[in-house]
């Protein structure tokens, strides 16, 4: 099973700041990586797929990068509504999720 490790566990930033979230895979997943956000009481929402492609309707401030084992989700300028838990997911060998990074807006 491919294990995904996300860091940091919690990120506390102010509106307008840049957020950088990391996801590391235990073995290469090529570019088969997706990012989701989830707000309390809601279903996950797909942000990024194939490591760097934005899903329909996702604002341009969200971007993904990386390949192999190291991936990054960047939120260029945080908005208050970006407060959520962010998960990465690999789709290379079955499907597994990381444990999540909580983004708090000060």
Partner 1 sequence: EVQLVESGGGVVQPGGSLRLSCAASGFTLTSNYMSWVRQAPGKGLEWVSATFTDGRTFYADSVKGRFTVSRDNSRNTMYLQMNSLRGDDTAVYYCSKDWVDWGQGTLVTVSS
Site of interaction with partner 1 (CB under 8 A): 1, 34, 36, 38, 43-46, 49, 55-56, 87, 89, 94-100
Least Cβ distance, residue 1 to partner 1 (angstroms): 8
- Which tokens hold the place of 62? 């969200």
For partner 1, give the closer residue by CB, 88 or 105.
Answer: 88
Best CA proximity match to 72, nearest among 27, 35, 29? 35
Q: Answer whether 40's CB lies under 8 Å from 103's CB.
A: no
User: Under DSSP, is residue 106 helix (H, G, I), strand (E, B) or coil?
Assistant: coil
For partner 1, give the closer residue by CB, 34 or 75.
Answer: 34
Residue 36: CB atoms within 10 A of its CB come to 22
Least Cβ distance, residue 16 to partner 1 (angstroms): 28
Least Cβ distance, residue 102 to partner 1 (angstroms): 11
For partner 1, give the closer residue by CB, 62 or 87.
Answer: 87
Residue listed under structure tokens 């940091």? 8
Least Cβ distance, residue 14 to partner 1 (angstroms): 26
For partner 1, give the closer residue by CB, 36 or 62.
Answer: 36
């Amino acid at each position: 099973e491919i294990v995904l490790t996300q860091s940091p566990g919690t990120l506390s930033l102010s509106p307008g700041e840049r957020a950088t979230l990391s996801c590391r895979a235990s073995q290469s997943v090529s570019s088969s990586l997706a990012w989701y956000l989830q707000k309390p009481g809601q279903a996950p929402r797909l942000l990024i797929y194939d490591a760097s492609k934005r899903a329909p309707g996702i604002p341009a401030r969200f971007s993904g990068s990386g390949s192999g084992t190291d991936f990054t989700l960047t939120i260029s300028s945080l908005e208050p509504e970006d407060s959520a838990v962010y998960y990465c997911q690999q789709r290379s060998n079955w499907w597994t999720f990381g444990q999540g990074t909580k983004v708090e807006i000060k």
